[in-house]
Amino acid sequence: MSTSTHFVWYLSPIGEILMTARDGALTSLYLHGRRSDATISDDWTEGGSILDAARSQLEAYFDGRSQDFNLPMEPDGTPFQRRVWEELGKIPYSETISYAELARRVGKPSAARAVGGANGRNPISVIVPCHRVIAADGTLGGYGGGLDRKLWLLQHEAETLGRDTPKSWTAPTASARRVRG
């Protein structure tokens, strides 16, 4: 017996977000307009209490009133991917680590590329903070939602805490300045 997928759109400072949930747990958060765009199925239902809670917590995050999320989550992925995503959730607000450090933390110190791949497949971005993983040289590295959004998120977190952002986090494109507003 399949369970119903619920969805909601949320307009955030970094663009439209599509969130999905099943069985009272968040299953995805897609940043619209990037490679991770999802299609809404005809059998999905709009709304739901977990999605209302997710939207409320995202609003608090984007307003700088909250640094944490407390939501039940059930992302689809392999056991290895889920381990990487679990470790992402432990990276403190406004802090960054390298892909190599993330690999070490999941017990696979020689698997930075595999860890980077799992990081890139994170289906619950922002809430599971894959944007906090950067290249070993301090530059931003990649981000499935676009480097402009990664830069915005990292700058937002630093500014919320009154911190300066490193010079190595330069805007990768002109679109980063547009998103920042």
**Residue found under tokens 């980063």:** 176
Residue 130 CB contacts under 8 Å (≥ 6 apart), including other chains:
85, 88, 119, 120, 122, 143, 144
Structure token digits, residue 57: 């917590």
- For residue 156, which phi and psi values (nearest 5 degrees)? -60, -45
> Judging by DSSP bridges, how do beta strands 45-46 and 25-31 pair with one another?
unpaired
Beta strands in 56-149 (DSSP E): 97-98, 133-134
Provide the 3-class DSSP secondary structure of residue 166: coil
Please give the positions annotated as active site.
Answer: 130
Quick one: CA torsion of 60, 65, 68, 69, rounded to 10 degrees? Answer: -20
Quick one: CA torsion of 109, 110, 114, 119, rounded to 10 degrees? Answer: 30
